[in-house]
Amino acid sequence: MKKTQCLTVLGLLLGATGLYAQPKADAAKGKATFDQQCGLCHDALTTDKKMGPGLKGLYKRPKLSTTGKPTSDASVNEKIDVGGNGMPPMKDIVPAADRANLLAYLKTL
Ligand code: HEC
């Protein structure tokens, strides 16, 4: 195997095991952010509607119910950034530093 191929395989393995995820997102910190910034309008434990839809199982759904886009970090981030239809834009309220933690928490729901 050529050296470049070796490195590619190594990279894939590291990527697959999550060792490349840096800095490590902290779902517990994300929960604190959620409780402060999102919990008023979103129930995390059910799909029942408060102001906005309950977010239980958000990442297990194939699509976002609001935008119809496939559920992904990009589409969830977009909703958080832009808001709309009763949700305030929260781009600056949950800055990049907290965002990874927040998404890590949402993935546990
Ligand atoms: C003031 C109330 C309010 C706050 C605060 C709020 N949201 Fe929302 N959110 C809504 C409403 C209302 C909707 C539905 C919007 C629509 O129909 O397009 C929504 C929609 C969403 C959706 C789309 C869900 C789906 O299935 O399509 C996500 C994801 C979401 N919010 C995440 C968050 C997160 C994360 C936070 C905290 C950073 C947050 N929201 C804060 C009211 C809020």
Residue 25, class by beta-carbon neighbours within 10 Å (0-12 exposed, 13-18 middle, 19+ buried)? middle
Residue 84 structure tokens:
């709309």
Q: Is the CB of 94 within 6 Å of ligand 1? A: yes
Q: What is the pLDDT of residue 24?
A: 85
pLDDT tens, residue by residue, 26-81: 999 999 999 999 999 999 999 999 999 999 999 999 999 999 999 999 999 999 99
**Distance separating alpha carbons of residues 28 and 102, to the nearest angstrom:** 9
Residues 52 and 41 sit within 8 Å (Cβ to Cβ): yes
Residues 46 and 54 sit within 8 Å (Cβ to Cβ): yes
The pick from 29, 37, 38 for probing ligand 1's pocket by mutation, whose C-beta has the most ligand atoms within 8 angstroms, reads: 38
Number of C-beta neighbours around residue 9 at 10 A:
11
